Amino acid sequence: MAEGGVQEPFARAARQREAERLGMLIFLASEVMLFGGIFAAALALRLEHPAGYVDAAHHLKLWLGTANTGVLLTSSLCAALAVQAARNGQARWAACALWGAVALGTVFLAIKGVEYAGEYREGLMPGMATTHFEGRTQQLFMNLYFIGTGLHAVHVTFGLALLAAAALNRGARQDRHAMLIGNVALYWHLVDVIWVFLYPTLYLAGVR
């Protein structure tokens, strides 16, 4: 006889949790490799054109990037607190923490939008009519910036949908093994880890 909430073919929730966690971690490893290509490209560009890379990165808005790092780290804290609350049987707290993470994630996207708008006005967005780059290195850097942060923003958007779905799911909130909330939180933390490395690669590199 299976416990409540446990799905086939698992007999025990602990076993199902272990299997789900392992599958999620393997998926996250594939995400690390997806972004790995972008980091390798940034490394190649920086080694080939060290001075041009720094000049190109200097045009990014360091303080907006820094604020976004803080916002995303705090959002991760909310997700971690949600897992803990669900495990302690505090379903209401779990929902509050999840909505907190969603709110901060939305703030992150809003700040990113402000940044993109600024870059569009300054003619730094690739492929636009008003685009004007100082040179080949800046063009390559801005391409990399938009691919890297754009792909990351897509992941943030998916993460927000997953967090909201978990917050709305009564079964997930009341699950003392925090299976669904735990897996969603893992995804959200990885999106955070990726940003932690995008930040020095793109923003901090521009401080002269």
Partner 1 sequence: MSGAVRLLLVWAALMALLALTVGAAFLPIGMAKPWVAYAIATAKAILILWFFMEMRRESGLARLAAIAGFVWLAILIMLTATDYLTRRWIM
Mask 129-168, x = binds partner 1 (CB under 8 A)? ----------------------------------------
Q: Which two tokens stand for residue 85?
A: 């609350």
CB of 190 to partner 1, least distance (A): 8
Say how far apart CA 167 and CA 134 lie, in whole Å. 47
Name the amino acid, one letter, at 2.
Answer: A
* Cβ–Cβ < 8 Å for 150, 125: no
Among residues 15 and 121, whose Cβ is nearest to partner 1? 15
Closest CA to 72 of 4, 155, 144, 129: 155
Q: According to the binding rule CB under 8 A, does residue 175 interact with partner 1?
A: no
Q: Which of these, 34, 180, 52, 156, lies nearest to 104 by C-alpha position?
A: 156
Of 12, 70, 117, 176, the one binding partner 1 (CB under 8 A) is 70
**What percent of the chain is helix, strand and coil (3-state, nearest 5)?**
80, 0, 20
- In this complex, which beta carbon is closest to partner 1, that of residue 31 or of residue 164? 31
Q: Which of 55, 74, 133, 169 binds partner 1 (CB under 8 A)?
A: 74
Q: Could you count the other beta carbons within 10 Å of the beta carbon of residue 153?
A: 17
Amino acid identity for residue 9 in this structure? P
Q: Contact residues for partner 1 (CB under 8 A)?
A: 18, 21-22, 25-26, 28-33, 36-37, 39-40, 43-44, 46-48, 62, 66, 69-70, 73-74, 76-77, 79-81, 83-84, 88, 182, 185-186, 189-190, 192-193, 196-197, 199-200, 204-205, 207
